[in-house]
Structure 1
Amino acid sequence: MDFQLTPDQIALRDTARKFAREEMVPVAKGYDQTGEFPLPVIAKGFELGLMNMTLPVELGGLGLSHFEQALVVEELAAGCAGISTSMIANDLALLPILIGGTAEQKERLVKPFSETLRFASFGLTEPGAGSDVSGLATTAVRDGDHYVLNGSKMWITNGGHADQFTIFATVDKKAGRKGITCFVVEGRPEGLSSGHHEDKLGQRASNTVALTLENVRVPVANRIGAEGQGWEIAMGTLDNSRPLTAMLAVGIGRAAMDHAIAYAKERKQFGQPIASFQAIQFMIADMATELHAARLLSYEAAAQLDAGQRNTLVSSHAKRFAADTAMKVCTDAVQIFGGYGYSKEYPVEKLFRDAKLIQIYEGTSQIQRMVIARELLKG
């Protein structure tokens, strides 16, 4: 691997960093308090090309590499993880189409997102099927040239604002994962409804809702892949998205470390800055080492995608380690701030709350360990 960034990559990273500092950081606290959808910030990011970054050039995208997208996501997450999650949610929702769709489907269902600011949502998790994806209960019944979808989806990012939904449903419950099939629901057809915005612990600027599908009719032309290929498409999508989720964690942790370092230099106890105490120095040193390791794991997972390699093992390493590292770094940052770290007046409290979600969504840290063990044991 070449660890030297090209001039173009440096410029891209710096653009994202400037955007995060100037457009996200000043408003992050306000959106965290209100839970409002940060549409003005997202619109500015779209105009700068900080959304839909890896869409192929032929579909109107920038055609950036996964590695380059990872560089951007770290910078955005250091600004605000909630806003960042809403900005990259399209990538997750459109990936199944890019992975399993036909040329016609990509042109019709993906390209429009590079032309105007629109939101798509990814619908896999259900009230009774989170980590156990194969247990999903949403059904799809063929009816002539359509499928009729019924069921519920949970924790749908941007679901209250999206006008396109990638939904996984089963055409045969008895078949388990072999019955799972992928569909794209366009617009908000009759029978599709979204619930209230969830009042979450962290990443509160990210819109999160439940979806209900009651006899929603979807054209056969909007089925992605063949019947029963949904499991494979979903797992391929998560392999692609894990490096980004890992970089979200790295960005959150880096911001917490930066705040901790600045505070340790200013805060005085016993007549000297607490940064002069070895106990504080060791905490900061561990933060830096573990974040650096998490970043490199994420880089490798993204680089494997760019090389066309299967990255299941390394992407699970990256997501698990980065998520747990971010939580540890943020916990230590709160500790360095002491009582002030527990106050909403100071930034590390929000980062602490934002970090927790990375250990849960897109495969919990425990699920990542299961994936890692499975990959190793099967050789």
Structure 2
Amino acid sequence: MTPASIAAPWLAQLSPAEIAFLKKVAHFAATEIAPHADAWEKSEELPRAVFMKAGKLGLLGMTAPRARGGQGFGYAAYALAIRELAKHQAAFAIDLAAHNALGSGHLLAAGNPAQHKRVLTKLLKGTWLAAWALTEPEAGSDSGGVQTTATEVSPGKWELNGFKRYITLGRSSDIVIVMAVSGQTAEGRKEISAFLVERAEIIPVRKVPTCGLRASDTAEFKLVKAKAELVGPRGTGQATALACLDKGRIGVAAVSLGLARAALDAALKHALNRRQFGKRLADFQALQFMLADCEVELRAAEALVLQATALASRGERHTIESSVAKLYASEAASRICSRALQIHGGYGYTRDIPVERYWRDARLSEIGEGSSEVQRIVISRALLKGTAATLADIR
């Protein structure tokens, strides 16, 4: 990835150091990810060694401050790096995004100096991996549905009991940030806190057999009297989690961009090379329009992601912008990947080429880190709240 290959709107948010980093990411993706993507898809596993290599490159601490051991890059560079990786293997890209924005991100935002020194440094270097455990059978976007409990057995020492589902890096992580109910608020609601739990305290249940992103470690695990320590003040877990999800949705949107670009590039090449009825597929107007629609939607998705990255890099609130970007990019990616498969015909439906993998992988982005329906709730609530405030000022 060179300046010439990066669209102008992205360049406005990138420094020379970030452009140099992205060039290294492109080389890493082409040499360390692309040659093994099919094999990892079939084995449904990503080797730990590739995460170690990614850590040495700086991919596991992209936006963390340099003073903490991270790269100190902005969110445009982060999104472009995730996009580049997703073009070759979305499972690896989504694992990296979750580690950066959720696992490491939560500890960076709320952890104390001792936790930063003992744990965060290893996470940013890639010697350790972090998972982030919110989802349960009755809790996901409804974070208030958490049933995992936390009991303070002695001052500063906690035990967790519960079950977590669909946790990215749930079996392979070295530490997990777990959301658990630690009591009740003054209003009688669940008090949700975040806890740091080491791998030895986790009881793995299984790797969930998913439709797409098969190489990603999507897992279930139990917590039975698991030793844990608070991350941040008691009762602040839910608020910090929601802030982390704002960043996480940028990552999911970036994965969507990568999948959509890979699928469109494959469709363009196939349309130029495949002949039917004495013509190239590219000569049929119906397919030309499909390709045009793909490009328009992809550019629109990139523009929305750029809005969110600009605010995130400046440290400004970007809840609605991240939701808008994630909603549109994920749904656009599904449409683009579906069209690409259609353009490939029967060949696209086979596992001989990765187009069907792009199609399967893209579907998760409409569900993970808040479904499309939840994003519409977030967006509409923000719109209505803003309009109500404006009307109140007028009155």
Q: TM-score, normalised by structure 1?
A: 0.94
Q: Does 1:129 align with 2:139?
A: yes
Which position in structure 1 is the counterpart of 2:205? 195
Q: Distance in 2 between matches of 1:61 and 1:225?
A: 20
Matched, 1:150 2:157: no
Question: What displacement does 1:173 show?
Answer: 5.9
Structure 2 unaligned segments of length 5 or more: list them: 1-8, 387-395
Aligned pairs for 1:1-379 (under 5 A) are 3-4=11-12, 5-91=14-100, 92-145=102-155, 146-172=157-183, 178-189=190-201, 192-218=202-228, 222-379=229-386
1 CA distance for matches of 2:385 and 2:285? 44
Measure how far apart 1:281 and its partner are: 1.0
- Once residues 153 and 323 of structure 2 are traced to their aligned partners in structure 1, the CA distance between those partners, rounded to angstroms, is 39
Q: How many residues align?
A: 374
Contact 2:56 2:126 in 1 (8 A): no
Secondary structure in 1 matching 2:76: helix
Give the drift of 1:22: 2.1
| Distance in structure 2 (CA, Å) of the matches to 1:177 and 1:168 | 15
* AA of the residue aligned to 1:200: T
1:215-243, Cα deviation, whole Å (9 max, x unpaired): 1122xxx3122222111011011011111
Q: Which deviates the most, 87-96 or 320-329?
A: 87-96
Counterpart code for 2:312 = L
What's the CA shift for 1:6?
A: 4.2
CA RMSD of aligned residues (A): 1.7
Indicate conservation of the 8 Å contact 1:254/1:291, yes or no: yes
Whole-Å Cα distance in 1 between the matches of residues 57 and 104 of structure 2? 20
**What code does the residue aligned with 1:40 have?**
A
Displacement, 1:106? 2.2
- Note the C-alpha offset of 1:2: 7.4
Give the Cα–Cα distance (whole angstroms) in 1 for the partners of residues 86 and 150 of structure 2. 36
- The Cα shift of 1:344 comes to 0.6
Q: Distance in 2 between matches of 1:119 and 1:74?
A: 20
Task: Tell whether the 8 Å contact from 1:149 to 1:215 is kept in structure 2 after alignment.
Answer: yes
- Which 5+ residue runs of structure 1 have no aligned equivalent? none
Aligned-pair identity (%): 38
CA distance in 2 between counterparts of 1:173 and 1:36 reads 40
Cα distance in 2 for partners of 1:176, 1:288 equals: 50
Does 168-177 or 313-322 show the bigger shift?
168-177
The one-letter code of the counterpart of 1:163 is: D
User: Larger deviation: 322-331 or 44-53?
Assistant: 44-53
Instruction: Check conservation: 1:149, 1:217, Cα contact below 8 A.
Output: yes
Report deviation, 1:90.
1.8
Q: Distance in 2 between matches of 1:55 and 1:86?
A: 17
- Please, what TM-score do these two structures have when normalized by structure 2? 0.90
**Inter-partner Cα distance in structure 1 for 2:336 and 2:68:** 39
CA-CA distance at 1:117 after TM superposition: 1.9
- Looking at structure 2, the residues matched to 131 and 374 of structure 1 have their Cα atoms a distance apart, in angstroms, of 15
